Chain A
Amino acid sequence: SQQGEEDPQALSIQEGENATMNCSYKTSINNLQWYRQNSGRGLVHLILIRSNEREKHSGRLRVTLDTSKKSSSLLITASRAADTASYFCATGKAAGNKLTFGGGTRVLVKP
C-alpha cells in the first residue's frame, strides 16, 4: 500500500455509535495529522500526533499511533450526523515538510 492508506474506504453508522478508521504508512514519520473534508469543501485540521506520542484526545476524537506497526487510528465517539464527511490521514517527515495524504475514509452517520 502507499504512504498513508486508510481503511475502511467507507463506513456507515447510526448516530450515537462510534466510528473507527485506520491509517497505515510505509516510511518513517515525524508526525501524523488527521483532516476532515465535507463534500467538495476544504480540509479541516482535526488533530496531530507526533511520532513520540502514542495517544491523543481532542473532544470526541481519539487518535492512536503505533510506529512499530506504522499505523494510526482515529476514533470518533458518539457520532453525530454532522460528522458525515471524508477523513484523511496525512504524514509528515519533518516540521515544514510536505504532507503525504491517504485516500480517505468516507463516513456516513445516519440520523
Chain B
Amino acid sequence: EPEVTQTPSHQVTQMGQEVILRCVPISNHLYFYWYRQILGQKVEFLVSFYNNEISEKSEIFDDQFSVERPDGSNFTLKIRSTKLEDSAMYFCASHDPGSHQETQYFGPGTRLLVL
C-alpha cells in the first residue's frame, strides 16, 4: 500500500542552523501538508501546498519557514534559523482530491531537536 515517507527520522541541530526536512507524498496525491507536534501537545497545522503554491498557512509558519516541491516527488520544509522552540515532531501529509475522500495520510514524522 502506498505511503508517505519522511527523512530523516531524527535530526539534531544547533540553534541558528538551517534544517531541511524531506517528504515523499503518495504519488498521485496533489495536496501536501506540514504539521508539527511539540512533545506532549496537540498536532498543529503549519502549511498546505497545492498546484505549486502555498494554499494556506498558520501563524506558526513565519518567514523562518519555507516549503518547496523541487521535483515531481519530494516536498520539503526548510527552517532557516532554528530556535529551541522549533524542537518537535514534524509530520508531512498528503491528500488525493480525485479520490473524493477527505482523508489525509501522514508520514512517520521527523523528530527535530534543536540544542
Question: Which residues from chain A sit less than 8 Å from chain B, CB to CB?
Answer: 30-31, 33, 35, 40-45, 48, 50, 88, 90, 92, 95-104
Q: Is the CB of A92 within 8 A of B102?
A: yes
**Which of A30, A41, A99, A104 is within 8 Å of B104, CB to CB?**
A99
Task: Tell me how many residues of B have a C-beta within 8 Å of chain A.
Answer: 29
Q: Is the CB of B106 within 8 A of A35?
A: yes
Q: How far is the CA of A99 from the CA of B56 in the complex (A)?
A: 11
Q: For chains A and B in complex, what number of residue pairs have CB atoms within 8 angstroms?
A: 63
Q: Is the CB of B106 within 8 A of A43?
A: yes
**Which of A30, A41, A48 is within 8 Å of B103, CB to CB?**
A48
> Known contacts A35-B106, A98-B48; is A48 also within 8 Å of B101 by CB?
yes
**Set of chain A residues within 8 Å of B25, measured between Cβ atoms:** none
Q: How far is the CA of A33 from the CA of B33 in the complex (A)?
A: 16
